[in-house]
Structure 1
Amino acid sequence: MAIGNNLKKGTKAAIPEKQEVQDATVDSSLVPKTETKLDQRDTQSLNQLNHDLEATQQVEENSRMLVVFPVGKEEYAFEIGQIKEVVPVPPISPVPQTKKYIQGVANVRGNVLAVIDLAKKFGLKKGQAADEINYVIVINSEDVKVAVVSSQVPETLMIKESQINSTADVMRKSNNEQHFINGVIKKDNRMIILIDILEMIKSDQD
């Protein structure tokens, strides 16, 4: 099931009836049993992050504001403009006959969203992905209704254009499936992969 076929604005998602979803065989480790309990530090971090997303930001010339989060043992980032909000993970209902990296669907503020696990999308080996899904990053799009899982509260990071490694161009040209990679950022001892999540979703619809 292509994401775009059922989650475009104004189109009802092809979600099985409630009884069918309940009868589906699912790995129970993938579905949160209870709502995530946040400690005070996580709550403050989450509130600050969502404040940054809502605020009108004066980004320096030749700079980008990113939202960074872990995927397995690596760090990935989205442009801040592609993110609507980050919330504690809601209950996720599995949907049969979808792609393996789609965890299921979740209701976030009245919107039914497809929930994506990038660790599965990128084919990380078992044991590399985070043990728990604690948050979902809601993507800012009128065309598709999608959220991405994260084990931690993402952080915002301002980077200079010069910090984006140009070898990413080579990666995109040499591997058509990775054309949504916008660059690799090296900062201190960190290496962060910048991806265009909307481009990734679009490529899955083609």
Structure 2
Amino acid sequence: MEEKKEVQEVTLEEIKKEVSNAQETAAKSGTRIQLIVFKLAGEEYALPIDDIKEVVLTPGIAKIPQTPAYIKGVANIRGNIIAIMDMEERLNLVNKKNKAPGSYTLVIASEQFKVGILVTEVPNTLRTYSTEIDKADNIMQFSELDKECIKGVVKDGERLIMLLDIFKIMEIEELNKIVNI
């Protein structure tokens, strides 16, 4: 009896599909993280969801004299008095004349401080993998901002989202004095 050997034809499309599946699997091999994505001056920024205690409608803000322009004052959020910061102004992203008021506040809480960050629209969530985040070292050389303040750039399809390190931003000495009221 003669054994028939089957010759299997493989098309270029099948090879591309296998390579694509392999790349997808490799991307998913990184740690899965969930982010809160919000806009500042029309660009997308993100924070890890674990850094954010809650998102609330921005309450009335009482101004504090002799503070930097990016500190808008303090607000009472669920019985807690917290400093309210305008991240667009802190990061020097927008001209004050074109500034839209912050409608929502991201409440950030840690053992060291509580602070609210103003955003103009409802933030979204995004699930991604750590392998989809490029380190910011090479792009931050052109910025006056401490490179430690940006963890990296998240690639989500065509979107590029700056991943902030809120705790590094808060370590800045002048800000630390204000948020620990």
TM-score (norm 1): 0.65
1:169 aligned to 2:137?
yes
When you count strand as a share of all residues, which structure comes out higher?
Answer: 2
Give the corresponding residue for 2:127: 158
For the 8 Å contact 2:30–2:130, the answer to whether it is kept is: no
Go from structure 1 to structure 2 and tell me whether the alpha carbon gap of 1:128 and 1:160 turns closer, same or farther (over 3 Å shift): farther
1:106 — aligned with what?
75
Q: How far apart, CA to CA, are the structure 1 residues paired with 2:141 and 2:96?
A: 30
Q: Distance in 2 between matches of 1:184 and 1:118?
A: 17
Structure 1 segments unaligned to the other structure (5+ residues): 1-59
Mean CA deviation greater in 99-108 or 129-138: 129-138
1:181–1:193 contact (8 Å) kept in structure 2: yes
Aligned residues: 146
- Structure 2, unaligned stretches of length 5 or more? 1-28
Which position in structure 2 is the counterpart of 1:96? 65
Q: Tell me, in whole angstroms, the C-alpha distance in 2 between the residues paired with 1:165 and 1:129.
A: 31
SS of aligned partner of 1:170: coil
The one of 84, 90, 101 aligned to 1:132: 101
CA deviation vs aligned residue, 1:174-194 (integer Å, no higher than 9, x gap): 766231100001212211100
Task: Describe the superposition over 1:27-62 as per-residue Cα deviations: whole angstroms up to 9, x where unpaired.
Answer: xxxxxxxxxxxxxxxxxxxxxxxxxxxxxxxxx961
Within-5 A mapping of 1:47-126: 62-126=31-95
Length-normalised TM-score, structure 2: 0.73
Which consecutive segments of 4 or more residues in structure 1 shift more than 6 A?
A: none
1:130 positional shift: 5.1
Give the number of the structure whose alpha-carbon radius of gyration is greater.
2
What's the RMSD between the two structures over aligned residues?
A: 2.2
Alignment identity in percent? 36
Change in CA separation of 1:138 and 1:125 when aligned onto 2, cut-off 3 Å: closer
| 1:181 partnered with 2:139 | no
Which range is displaced more, 96-105 or 195-204?
Answer: 195-204
Per the TM alignment, residue 142 of structure 1 is displaced from its structure 2 partner at its CA by 2.3
Distance (Å, rounded) in 2 between the aligned partners of 1:135 and 1:64: 23
Q: CA deviation at 1:154?
A: 0.7
SS at match of 2:171: helix
